[in-house]
């Protein structure tokens, strides 16, 4: 019962389907952004962890289409901000993925 409650509370908090919950645990990735990552082939924490932050930038831009209409310097500043977010996302995904791999190794050793 407790496991089911935890599962559904995670779904409510993330506002996402079960297959997107793992992605929604990464900073800056909420339900809408998780869907955009999913649709662009980044379907696991591992795929995001193994991607270069520059590969994540177009996905982040796609997740926020209203802000793409900026011109010149404003657009450059916006892309710089998104690149910082992409690096944070990549680093966090790597940390989560390492923890997942460590947990799997510990389970195999038991």
Rounded Cα distance between 62 and 14, Å, is 19
55-72: pLDDT as tens digits? 999 999 999 877 656 667
Question: To 5 degrees, how large is the angle CA 16–CA 21–CA 25?
Answer: 120
**Residue 32 near residue 38, CB atoms below 8 Å:** no
Query: Could you give the number of structural domains in the chain?
Result: 1
pLDDT for the residue 44 = 94
Find the domain containing 51 and state its range: 2-109
Rounded Cα distance between 90 and 103, Å, is 20
Rounded Cα distance between 55 and 8, Å, is 32
What's this model's pTM, rounded to 2 decimal places? Answer: 0.77
pLDDT for the residue 70 = 65
**Residue 23 near residue 45, CB atoms below 8 Å:** yes
């Amino acid at each position: 019962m407790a496991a089911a409650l935890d599962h559904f509370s995670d779904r409510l908090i993330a506002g996402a389907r079960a297959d997107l919950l793992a992605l929604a645990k990464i900073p800056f990735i909420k339900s809408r952004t998780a869907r955009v990552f999913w649709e662009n082939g980044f379907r696991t924490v591992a795929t995001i962890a193994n991607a270069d932050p520059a590969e994540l930038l177009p996905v982040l831009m796609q997740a926020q289409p209203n802000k793409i209409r900026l011109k010149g310097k404003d657009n450059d500043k916006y892309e710089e901000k998104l690149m910082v977010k992409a690096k944070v996302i990549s680093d966090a995904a790597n940390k989560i993925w390492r923890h997942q791999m460590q947990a799997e190794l510990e389970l195999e050793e038991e």
